[in-house]
Structure formats: structure tokens, C-alpha cells
Amino acid sequence: MPTYDYSDHVVLVTGGTSGIGRAVAEAFAEHGASVVIAARDVDRGGSVAQFIDGEVTFVQVDVGKPTQIASLVEQTVATYGGLDVAVNNAAGRTGTGKPTHAFDLEEFDATVDVALRGVWVGMKHQIQQMLSKDESGGTIVNVSSVNGLGGAPGGSIYSACKAGVLSLTKSAAQEYAPQGLRVNALVPGAFDTPMLQTVMQQAADAQGTDVDAVHQQYADRSAVGRIGTPEEAAQAVLWLASGAATYVHGHSMIVDGGTTCAVR
């Protein structure tokens, strides 16, 4: 496993109390970073921050509310003196589990507010902060999904948002590379997270089967025959944010155990 030194870095992770986000926060803290994790659940956020070894602060934030995102960046800078890496990972559980026509307007808006607009608002304030430094520079990693590469039955709104995240990433990467900012995307496949467990339970209910059978269906789709661990996704984020990736701009890093390799 590569060795990284983030001891002089301030890292912000949204959706940092669960799944991939939590694994990312733990990985950066393990390698010396000062980490701010942001999420809605205060109780879980506090316990996660205490559990992680290292310099970690929890900030309660609903990324569906733009003013809270702006305040999050301000609090990060006030606490640790700057912002070097931002990982926009937060996503809600709406926008999946139904055919396209069955979603209502409220579900559409709730999904977009968190999974797409929340990423853009986060980038807006993160970029402004990174550009304001004496020597502008920084790294942003936006978490998309393989569903955003081509869509998914029963997940049209979520997929559309994740496709939008890729376009935001590629556009910003071109705009800010001259100022020393790198913007890339992690495109995860199936990882063993609470969100995926919820999706698998929905699928099991719809199929009239048990969740173990659905779990096996997901595992069988990958070339390696298993679902990934959040820690494996975190390693990809560590690399994207590191000095080993200084020539990587606007990249969609697909980490899916080979699930989509036959069609891309």
C-alpha cells in the first residue's frame, strides 16, 4: 500500500460519517491530515469523529442547504487555517427504487438538491477559498457513480445527478488548472455501504427474494466476483489528491472491480 504524507493538509469530506466518506476521512487522518467531516446526523457525526485516530472535527451540515455549505467552508478555514483537499461525497437515498414516471417532483428536487446542486455549491465555495490563498492551489474529488456513466433502471434521477457531477468535474478541471487547482471524480461501482444495503433491500423486496441473493447478483456483475470495501475506494481518493497525480485533471476514475469494463 502506498505511503502518503498529508501532515500539512486540511481536508474536508462531505458525507463523511458513513460508507465511502467515512473511509476517506479515516484514510486522510491516518496519513496526518487535519480532517473536517460533514453530515446531517449530529450523534453519529460526533461518535465517528471521536472514533477516528487523528485530528478530526465534525460539522453538522445539510448539503441540500446552500447557506450551510458556505458556512462549512468558513468553519473549516477558521478551525484549521485553510483548505487543501475537498471530497464532495454526500448523497441522499432518494432518486432510486422506482421507474422514471413514478417519482414525484419533491423526490426529484430532493435528489438534485443534494447529489448535484450540493456538489456545485460545495465546489463554488471550495474553489473560491483555494484561489484566495497566497499561492492558489488545491484538489477537489467529486464522488460520482457508475450509474452516472449510462443510467440505471429504477434510478434515473440519481443517475442523472451523478452524470451531472462528471460534467461539473470536467468543466471545472479545464477552468482552474492554470491556477493550480486539480478537479477529478471518483466513479465507484458497488461498495459495501449502508446506502447500497438499502438499495439491495429495495431490490430484494421488489424481486420477492432475500437480500443475500441480491448481494450475490451485485457481486457476480464484477470481474472479481465481489463487492468492494469502502477502504478500497478511499485508496483511490488518496491517490487522486496526492502529489503522485499532479498531471491528472478532469479524470473520471472508475473503481468498480471491472463491472463496467466490457462496455466502456
Indicate which residues carry an active-site annotation: 158
Cβ–Cβ under 8 Å, residues 116 and 157: no
Rounded CA-CA distance 119/64 in Å is 9
**Best CA proximity match to 152, nearest among 199, 204, 107:** 199
Please count the other Cβ atoms lying within 10 Å of the Cβ belonging to residue 27.
24
Cβ–Cβ under 8 Å, residues 259 and 223: yes
H helix intervals, the chain: 19-30, 42-51, 66-80, 105-112, 118-131, 147-150, 156-176, 194-207, 211-221, 230-240
Tell me the Ramachandran region of residue 247: left when phi exceeds 0, alpha when psi lies from -120 to 50, beta otherwise: alpha
Rounded CA-CA distance 13/27 in Å is 11
Longest dimension (CA), the chain: 59
Which contiguous run of DSSP H or E holds residue 241?
none
Rounded CA-CA distance 184/117 in Å is 17
Sorted by sequence, the CB contacts under 8 Å of residue 124 that are 6+ apart come out as none
Instruction: Identify the three-state secondary structure at position 228.
Output: strand
